[in-house]
Amino acid sequence: SRTIKLAVIPGDGIGPEVVAEAVKVLAAVIARDDVTIDTSTFQLGAARFLETGDVLTETDLASIQQHDAILLGAVGGVPGDPRLKDANIERGLLLGLRFALDHYVNLRPCTIYPGVTSPLAIPGVVDFVVVREGTEGPYVGNGGAIRRGTPQEVANEVSVNTAYGVERVVRYAFEVAQGRERKRLTLVHKTNVLVFAGSLWQRIVNEVAAEYPQITVDYLHVDAATIFFVTNPSRFDVLVTDNLFGDILTDLAAAISGGIGLAASGNINPTGRFPSMFEPVHGSAPDIAGQQLADPTAAILSVALLLDHLGLTDAAARVNEAVADDLLRRSETAPLRRSTAEVGDAIVTLLTDKVLK
Ligand code: NAD
Ligand code: IPM
Ligand code: MN
Tens-place pLDDT, residues 121-169: 777 889 999 999 999 999 999 999 999 999 999 999 999 999 999 999 9
Where is 145: in which H helix or E strand?
A: strand 137-146
Cβ-count burial of 357 within 10 angstroms (0-12 exposed, 13-18 middle, 19+ buried)?
exposed
Non-local CB neighbours of 260 within 8 Å, separated by 6+ positions: 251, 254, 281, 282, 298
64 pLDDT higher than 60: yes
Q: Which atom of ligand 2 is closest in space to residue 95's alpha carbon?
A: 7
Report d(CA 227, CA 224) in Å as an integer. 5
Query: What is the structure's pLDDT at 122?
Result: 76
pLDDT above 70 as % of the chain: 98
Query: In this predicted model, what pLDDT tens digit does every residue of 192-215 receive, in sequence order?
Result: 999 999 999 999 999 999 999 999
Where is 264: in which H helix or E strand?
A: strand 264-268
Q: Which atom of ligand 1 is closest in space to residue 75's alpha carbon?
A: 40
Question: Which is nearest to 239 in space by CA: 259, 221, 212?
Answer: 221
What are the beta bridge partners of residue 41? 8
> Ligand 2: which of 93, 94, 107 to mutate, most ligand atoms within 8 Å of CB?
94
Q: Rounded to the nearest whole angstrom, what is the distance from the C-alpha of residue 83 to the centroid of ligand 1?
A: 19
Lining ligand 1 with CB less than 6 A are 14, 18, 74-77, 79, 90, 94, 260-261, 279, 282-288, 294-295, 298
pLDDT above 90 as % of the chain: 89
The reply to whether ipTM tops 0.85 is yes
Average of per-residue pLDDT across 88-101: 96
Q: Which residues are catalytic?
A: 139, 190, 223, 247, 251
Which domains, from first to last, does the chain contain? 1-107+266-357 (3.40.718.10), 119-134+160-256 (3.90.190)
334 pLDDT higher than 80: no
On whether the CB atoms of residues 159 and 274 are closer than 8 A, the answer is: no
